[in-house]
Structure 1
């Protein structure tokens, strides 16, 4: 296919998001209601199908932070349950 530029998935969704933003700005400046509906439909389409492609790295970082948070929370709960937090090393029980 000559003359056809193949675009990556992320590039396609980024372009659609940019077009959606431009349409939104156009709708605000012209106050044409049909453009608002077009913006809403395009935004929903981008969110539904393009979110995983556009924000893949962000979602992965968010998931890693959440898993780390859960590990720390479980360790803190285990420490509180066992009471090791209040006991000092080398202290004598008399």
Structure 2
């Protein structure tokens, strides 16, 4: 059930990103700056609320690599 909810949220945020892209490109093409502002607002919402959902695997890998690099740097400092 959790996987299905996560998949539904992921799909929702992907659709919102696609709508923001269409609005932004349409605003640039037509010179309608209100569409661009709406697209930017949607983008900020997706970034703030959907980042953890959309990029969950990437964030976990990044945290793991960061922790490994930090441990490596600490071991180098301790050898001196």
Which structure would you say has the larger Rg? 1
Between structures 1 and 2, the one with greater helix share = 2
Question: Gapped runs of 5+ residues in structure 2?
Answer: none
Aligned length, in residue pairs? 75
Judge which range, 67-76 or 17-26, deviates more: 17-26
- Residue 31 of structure 1 pairs with residue 31 of structure 2: yes
2: CA distance between counterparts of 1:63 and 1:29? 39
Report runs of 4+ in structure 1 exceeding 6 Å deviation.
none
> If the length of structure 2 is used for normalisation, what is the TM-score?
0.86
**Pairwise CA RMSD:** 1.5
> If the length of structure 1 is used for normalisation, what is the TM-score?
0.74
